[in-house]
Amino acid sequence: MARCFMLLAALGLAMCEAFVVPVEPPSQPATPRRLPSRMETVEAPSDASAAGQAVVLSMLAGLIVGLAAPASSWAEDAAPAVSPKEARAAKFKEEMQKASAKLQAAPSKEERLKKSQQQLQEYSKKADTEYTSP
């Protein structure tokens, strides 16, 4: 939020400085002048404020680029960049560890067989009692 406010303040200051023309008193009286002939070259008046405006706008551009950079590039202890291949390898390794942990925690085939046989015995006892009772 503070960066946004600083950016807006700098932008407003630069706009005021760059596009407001300073008031200068006329150096010559307003008298009609003759038109320049085709052979004469007309030079643009050298304006010191134009150079100042260019400097201010270039400073504003640098400020915008500096504020638009991601904050991670400013951090001194930022994590080093990881290539996509390394990231996929790390993710695959984590997934394999999770899968192996699930397999280790899963009951063995003998345990599952014993459990299913026990459930069948209980079911057969229940079925026998229901059909034999009057």
| pLDDT tens-place string over residues 41-66 | 656 556 666 667 777 888 888 878 77
Higher pLDDT among residues 69 and 30, named by residue = 69
For residue 41, the model assigns a pLDDT of: 62
Domain ranges of the chain: 108-133
Does the structure show a pLDDT above 60 at 133?
no
Higher pLDDT among residues 100 and 2, named by residue = 100
What is the Cα–Cα distance from 46 to 63, expressed in whole angstroms? Answer: 28
Average pLDDT over all residues of the chain: 75
What is the Cα–Cα distance from 56 to 54, expressed in whole angstroms? Answer: 5
Name every residue whose Cβ is closer than 8 Å to that of residue 14 and which is 6 or more positions away in sequence.
Answer: 56, 57, 59, 60
